[in-house]
Amino acid sequence: MSFAVPPRNARPRPRRWFVAAIVLLLTAAGCLGLGLRGHQDALAGPPGPQFNPLTSPEPTGSGPTGKTGVSAARSEPVELRIPAIGVAVTLSEIGLNPDGTVQVPTDFQQPGWYRLGPSPGQLGSAVILGHVDSYLGPAVFFRLRSLRAGNAVEVRLADGVIAHFVVSGVAMYPKAHFPDQLVYGSHGYSELQLVTCGGIFDNQTRHYLSNIVVYTHLVAITPAPSVNRE
């Protein structure tokens, strides 16, 4: 993703430091969009390249060993907790851009749930995207790649249910070969994929060249608290 710059004679000449800060902000905001082609294309397209694990083997279509088979009703996710990396944050919603690419969160410290897919806990792959950093420093998913198999991920839903996931694998993919089907497609059980930027940072384009994906699977559901009515 790139950003058009107006002709120099069509705008005033602000201070160089201010221009540099704006350019860094805009390019960081677009880092997640590269390599993500949108949910409709993801469901129809072929699987991506060979899995390149950082911490564990590739999730298979049969589901992780010991999966529970539980699932939750559709409900908007409102909070994400990842204790191992100190994340406890509310969630926004994202969809598709007019060109069919997946939107990216507007807040660097708040991840976005892809609302055109399942909600966390439903059958299929729910997806949450977040920024890795900006010109201001680390963003909400800065430590995402440090997660390991077995780490816990929790999502609180608007209906009061808490969906409990466990990390099954972490991988890095070149953005030109992002595995849409593996990340967004249904594999027969309830999953949650977490996505951010990573790998080498290209100083010329001001973009990261890869995406980090954390694969998780549902292990338990905590029902909404009962309300006693007298």
Q: What is the pLDDT of residues 155-190, one digit of tens each?
A: 999 999 999 999 999 999 999 999 999 999 999 999
CA dist., res. 164 & res. 176, Å (int): 32
Q: 3-state DSSP helix/strand/coil percent for the chain, to nearest 5?
A: 15, 35, 50
For the chain, list residues with pLDDT below 50: 1-29, 33-63, 65-66
* C-alpha closest to that of 31 among 194, 209, 214: 209
Q: What is the pLDDT of residues 25-34, one digit of tens each?
A: 444 445 554 3
* C-alpha closest to that of 163 among 87, 59, 91, 79: 79
CA dist., res. 40 & res. 101, Å (int): 10
Q: What is the pLDDT of residue 205?
A: 84
pTM for this model (two decimals): 0.75
| Rg, the chain, Cα only | 19
| Tokens 């069509």, residue located | 10
Q: Which CATH superfamily is domain 8-222 in?
A: Sortase (2.40.260.10)
Q: What is the pLDDT of residue 198?
A: 95
Helix (H, G, I), strand (E, B) or coil at 60: coil
Q: What is the pLDDT of residue 32?
A: 52
Q: What is the pLDDT of residue 194?
A: 98
* C-alpha closest to that of 194 among 27, 68, 98, 77: 77
